[in-house]
Amino acid sequence: MPSYPVTKISTSDKQVNILQLTDLHLTSPVASIVENDDEATVCQHCFETVLHQALNTDIRCDLILVTGDLVSQVQTTIYDHIFEVLEATGIPFACIAGNHDVTDEAGSDLPFLQRQLIAQPADKRLLSRHAIDTDGWQLLLLDSSITGKVAGEVTPADIDWLCERLSACDKPALIALHHHVIPVDSAWIDIHMAENAEDFWRHMAAFDHLKVIISGHIHQNQVRHRQGVTVYSTPSTCYQFKPFENNFSYDKNARPGYRWLQLANNGKVASWVERLDT
């Protein structure tokens, strides 16, 4: 059984296949899948079904990256269950925090602006400034969450750490964080993106070997480009948001999803989103 957190991955073909899961939003440590319309059960069912579908394909999975919002209620027992499910795969995995991992919302039945945001400590298993070295790539994981807030940030200390890691290693690099660092043309969610993003991009311009950034938070599939970097946003394993909407809106026609990334030994990357079959 791989130890957590993983710090090194080596494969026979020097390629790394990553399964990205994001925005699980679990609210209870349900031990079994039962289908009904309760949101807690739906999210639990979708998480486990997504994982099962992804791992029962012909793609070898070398790493599972969970990019935040593992829960919608900060409870240790929910994380215990998520980690048990991931550990049972026998595949190395890593988890970082999203806003819901450090913030509870009181009055979730109320309009968003009427809810009370309650700061919570992050589960100690969620990683911050964590590096994973592979044969041909370096993977750099950030905690972009701010306790008690929906928006995130890439702090000056985060940027310093990234610059240090990128200066010390010229392998192609991937950065993973929860909050998006490029606006996605939805006003309501773009006000909750990563603060300090422009300073982040200014510093990253020095590193041509930064190739990929992956994030969650926006509950939809988008691919954007900046400074030679491909920036992927990934659907939630549960419910989806409508793209290009200035006001909050669910996308009831979009199924739960996940992203595959194939990091080749020549520095190239292939990536695509899959959706639940049913």
Cα of 74 vs its chain's centroid, Å: 17
Look at strands 138-141 and 130-134 and give their pairing: antiparallel
Q: How much is the pLDDT for 60?
A: 98
Q: How much is the pLDDT for 140?
A: 99
d(CA 208, CA 17): 22
Mean pLDDT is lowest, of 24-28, 46-50, 113-117, 221-225, for: 113-117
- Residue 261 CB coordination number (10 Å): 24
**3-state SS class at 153:** strand
Mean pLDDT, range 196-225, rounded to an integer: 98
Residue 2 lies in a domain: no
Q: How much is the pLDDT for 84?
A: 97
Cβ–Cβ under 8 Å, residues 66 and 38: no
Mean pLDDT, range 52-59, rounded to an integer: 97
Q: How much is the pLDDT for 107?
A: 67
Cβ–Cβ under 8 Å, residues 102 and 121: yes
Mean pLDDT, range 240-264, rounded to an integer: 96
- Decide if pLDDT at 31 tops 80: no
Residue 118 lies in a domain: yes
DSSP string, 172-230: -EEEE-SS-SS--S-HHHHTTSEETHHHHHHHHTT-TTEEEEEE-SS-S-EEEEETTEE
- Decide if pLDDT at 276 tops 60: yes
Question: In the structure, what pLDDT confidence band is assigned to residue 33 with cuts at 50, 70 and 90?
Answer: very low
Residue 216 lies in a domain: yes
Mean pLDDT is lowest, of 33-47, 51-65, 220-234, for: 33-47
Residue 1 lies in a domain: no
Q: What is the DSSP letter of 11?
A: -
**Contacts for 36 with CB less than 8 Å, ≥ 6 apart:** 42
Tokens 């739960």 found at: 256
CATH number at residue 191: 3.60.21.10
SS3 content of the chain, % helix, strand, coil (to 5): 20, 30, 50
pLDDT tens digits, 212-241: 999 999 999 999 999 999 999 999 999 999
> Domain span at residue 197?
11-275
Residue 4 lies in a domain: no
Q: What's the whole-number average pLDDT of the chain? A: 94
Residue 3 lies in a domain: no
Mean pLDDT, range 148-159, rounded to an integer: 97
Q: How much is the pLDDT for 36?
A: 45
Percentage of residues in the chain with pLDDT exceeding 90? 88
d(CA 216, CA 195): 15
Q: How much is the pLDDT for 34?
A: 44
- Decide if pLDDT at 260 tops 50: yes
- Decide if pLDDT at 28 tops 50: yes
- Decide if pLDDT at 1 tops 80: no
- Residue 6 CB coordination number (10 Å): 19
pLDDT tens digits, 16-26: 999 999 999 99
Q: How much is the pLDDT for 30?
A: 57
Mean pLDDT, range 20-45, rounded to an integer: 75
Q: Decide which of 169 and 3 is more confident.
A: 169
Q: How much is the pLDDT for 37?
A: 52
CA distances from 188 to 8, 118, 151, 193, 218 (A): 38, 20, 11, 10, 10
Domain count of the fold of the chain: 1
Residue 252 lies in a domain: yes
- Decide if pLDDT at 54 tops 60: yes
Residue 234 lies in a domain: yes
Cβ–Cβ under 8 Å, residues 49 and 238: no
Q: How much is the pLDDT for 46?
A: 96
**3-state SS class at 52:** helix
Mean pLDDT, range 203-207, rounded to an integer: 98
